[in-house]
Amino acid sequence: MEPSAGFGPATITLPISTDVDLNEFKQWLISREYSKSYINAVMCYASKYHYILGNNHLRDLDTLSNDIKASTVKALILLSKFLGTYTQFKQKLSEYGIKLARPDSLTAFLRILNNGNSNIIEYYNQAKSKLNPNEQTFLKFLLKSGLRTSEAIASFNMVIALSRNGKLCEYYNKDLNCLMHFKYPKTFIRRTKNCYVTFITPELLTAISQSSAVSYSAIRKRLERSKLKLRLNEFRDKFGTHLVSNGILEIEQNLCCGRLNSGIFVKHYWSPKLAELAQRIFKAVETIEADTATTAGE
């Protein structure tokens, strides 16, 4: 769901209920610990398409593109839960035969076939040359951590702040060589997107500690002024693919990227040696740096 500007009126009137205060709805979303960007998106779609709830306008959803339709339905589902009318709304969706399209295996194959981030290392070098030294360090951290951009910014700035206060040991486990995101659940543990640990070498940790804080807006503006597209999230794809291509098991890669499932094997049997895993990941990540150097020299 992509957010758009504005939330619409402060109060919306729905035939299925009394007036609904959008501020109350927003506070309800916040209380359920959704991310800020997701909340902004939900508010935008809910304020624009709220009239569909309680009316016979569900066919209006069919006039929307698949992406906007999916985002609208998700927003209306949350709004209906807030209003206590989720069961009725779900029944109406069923009656009208409205379903959210799920990605199938063919879609996944076509994404792989038309992979647009095959030149991401070339982009990495171009972007790095346009950024300030602290942002260059951040870009390196983003490439080598597998974190989402927002997570990486929060982690990067947290390392700096804790280091200056002599409390970095609360976040970095030097025995396992990892940042322990799970200790800060309000920042890193969310309903659907999580990150638990990030394996990071002492050398990169020191470089970050000696750096200065970064912001997404500053990086975005600098890259846009240099006529470079924003492709920061593609570093996560590169990281995950590169680990698996260099001997890291998929389940281990999922751990690094915050995608642990709740299956029986993971919950009760899988017990990886994290210190050993860290060393294997560092070895795999060295290949990314080698690719970077090779591409930069071409």
Annotate 7-28 with DSSP letters as a single string: ---SEE--TTSS-EEHHHHHHH
* 72, 156: one domain: no
* 82, 130: one domain: no
Can you tell me the distance from the alpha carbon of 184 to that of 180, in angstroms, rounded to the nearest whole number? 8
Q: For residue 107, count other CB atoms closer than 10 A to its CB.
A: 11
* 139, 282: one domain: yes
Burial label for 60, CB within 10 Å (0-12, 13-18, 19+), is middle
Burial label for 204, CB within 10 Å (0-12, 13-18, 19+), is middle
What average pLDDT does range 72-101 have in this prediction? 86
* 259, 188: one domain: yes
According to DSSP, residue 179 is labeled E
* 91, 228: one domain: no
Predicted confidence (pLDDT) per residue in 85-96, tens digit: 889 888 888 888
User: Last residue of a domain, which of 95, 125, 158?
Assistant: 95
Can you tell me the distance from the alpha carbon of 285 to that of 281, in angstroms, rounded to the nearest whole number? 6
pLDDT classification of 271: cutoffs 50, 70, 90? confident
In a domain, 17, yes or no: yes
**58 lies in which domain range?**
11-95
* 198, 69: one domain: no
pLDDT at 285 over 70: yes
* 196, 286: one domain: yes
pLDDT classification of 156: cutoffs 50, 70, 90? very high
pLDDT classification of 191: cutoffs 50, 70, 90? confident
Cα torsion angle, 242, 154, 211, 161, sign: negative
Which range among 84-93, 98-107, 145-154 shows the weakest confidence by mean pLDDT? 98-107
The model's pTM: 0.71
* 158, 198: one domain: yes
* Helix, strand or coil, per DSSP, at residue 236: helix
* 171, 72: one domain: no
pLDDT at 110 over 60: no
User: Last residue of a domain, which of 95, 126, 149?
Assistant: 95
Q: Please tell me the predicted confidence (pLDDT) of residue 17.
A: 44
pLDDT at 282 over 60: yes
* 159, 237: one domain: yes
Number of domains within the chain:
2
What average pLDDT does range 132-154 have in this prediction? 96
CA proximity to 213, closest of 270, 152, 288, 148: 152
